[in-house]
Amino acid sequence: MSGFEHYAAEARSLEAEIQRTGIALGVDWSDEAQVRALAREALEKGHEQIVAAAHGHDRRVLAKAELFGLTELMLKMMLESEHEGIHTQGGPVWQAFGRALLEETGRMAQGPGGPPETAG
């Protein structure tokens, strides 16, 4: 049970930071299109954004880089807890962003053309 409690506490803490950073960026976590676009950007360009932010002073770029770093932590936590048989989920921001990340990961795995067509 301690693993569950550890992941739940970490998820709450991480979600609070994601929410705080989202406020700085003006993210509406109930806007699925906006959250999906942000998830796509995090997955496709997150590391580049983090490196670029280290060399600049633009607050928006820094906030986005922080969000993308938090995204990496979120994904890592989800994978680690899943490996231990624990389903980690947070509140509404965690759920919205987590769902978007999973959907975008699936879309990216299918390739640029989307899902393969089946012969009928």
In a domain, 117, yes or no: no
In a domain, 68, yes or no: yes
Supply φ then ψ for residue 119, to 5 degrees.
-75, 140
Amino acid at 36: R
For the chain, the domain total comes to 1
In a domain, 60, yes or no: yes
Q: Measured between alpha carbons, how far is 4 from 48 in angstroms, rounded to an integer?
A: 33
In a domain, 26, yes or no: yes
Range of the domain at 103: 2-107
In a domain, 37, yes or no: yes
In a domain, 34, yes or no: yes
58-80: buried (b, 16+ CB within 10 Å) or exposed (e) per residue? eeebbbbbbbbbbbeebbebbee
Amino acid at 14: L
The answer to which of 8-12, 29-33, 63-67, 105-109 has the lowest mean pLDDT is 105-109
pLDDT in tens, 14-49: 999 999 999 999 999 999 999 999 999 999 888 777
Q: pTM value?
A: 0.78
In a domain, 114, yes or no: no
With CA atoms as reference, report the closest residue to 53 among 67, 35, 39: 67
In a domain, 113, yes or no: no
